[in-house]
Amino acid sequence: MPILEVKHLYKSYPTFELKDVNFSLEPGYIMGFIGKNGAGKTTTIKSIYNLVKKDSGEIYLLGKKVEDYSEIELKQSVALMLGGMNIYSNSKIEVIGEVVSKFYKNFNKGIYESLLKKFNLDKSKKFKELSNGMKTKFLLTLSMSFDAKLLILDEPTSGLDPFSRDEILEVFQKYIEDGKHSILFSTQIISDLEQIADYITYIKDGKIVLSDEKEKFCDFYRLINCSKEDGEKIPVSMLLGKRESDFSFQALIKKEDEHKLPYGVEVILPTIEQIMIMIERGVKNESIN
């Protein structure tokens, strides 16, 4: 049974719309949620946690519709960390930990203390005195200390130095090792995805472009390199995105269309970053002179 299942999710705003969003996540895996700023990642995440009322569609958490959870039940089962969260700013970390531990029935003091030590968090400091990176580490420590089956994290490694990011990713990997926990996290840092994500879900303009295992996600596409002359022989309908100059041509196509290419065109497996860049560029007629 999927730990998270989103089916035909729609949500409309005056200037933006989520349109038929579908994806699922099984226990024991990490899913990276990618897309440009404003693509719909945060709206989707808030809908999953019932912070935004969806227009239509179904969202299941641990096999149960999200709207059937009480607020307390939802918070006991799923941990959410959004960017810019501030909790008890004037309180010391030690006090915040004590308050939170009383709310969650499965709060594990051993895990909590272990993560405080791993992240070198000083319990005597007030939350507002922490650096942004340390605030993130403390919020993650709280989120991972009460046996939430699903962690939903909105850009958790944004703004962190490479060592801190690696430290957090290592903790994520350990969290899901028992096969009972999963993580959904949005990010703009592609190297994080390449390091730990099992699945990639890509959203653009409120629609899911593709959601699949990381290796299959990249293998769905091909990046082509050739002369501009050869590039102009390729039907525009095949192209998902392109970049061209006076002499060279680069484009993204689906793997299934590879056999239709002119002889001699170089074809390579694209990276996640190349896929995103090409699809966001589209096929507008712009040249680099």
pLDDT (0 to 100) of residue 84: 62
pLDDT (0 to 100) of residue 288: 46
pLDDT (0 to 100) of residue 85: 66
Q: Output the domain CATH number for residue 22.
A: 3.40.50.300
DSSP labels for the chain?
A: --SEEEEEEEEE-SS-EEEEEEEEE-TT-EEEEE--TTSSHHHHHHHHTTSS--SEEEEEETTEEGGGS-HHHHHHHEEEE-TT---STTSBHHHHHHHHHHH-TT--HHHHHHHHHHTT--TTSBGGGS-HHHHHHHHHHHHTSS--SEEEEESTTTT--HHHHHHHHHHHHHHTTTSS-EEEEE-S-HHHHHHH-SEEEEEETTEEEEEEEHHHHHHTEEEEEEEHHHHTTS-GGG-SEEEEESSEEEEEEEGGGGGGSPTT-EEEPPPHHHHHHHHHHTT---EE-
**Are 45 and 96 members of one domain?**
yes
pLDDT along the chain (289 residues), means of 10: 97 96 98 95 94 96 94 92 76 94 93 95 93 91 94 90 92 95 94 94 98 97 94 94 93 96 92 96 68
pLDDT (0 to 100) of residue 2: 95
Whether the Cβ atoms of residue 255 and residue 220 lie closer than 8 Å to each other: yes
pLDDT (0 to 100) of residue 263: 87
**Are 166 and 200 members of one domain?**
yes
State how many domains the chain has. Answer: 2
Question: For residues 189 and 203, what is the distance between their CA atoms, to the nearest angstrom?
Answer: 15
The predicted model scores a pTM of: 0.92
**Are 111 and 209 members of one domain?**
yes
**Are 202 and 272 members of one domain?**
no
User: Which of 217, 234, 253 is at the close of a domain?
Assistant: 217
45: containing domain: 4-217
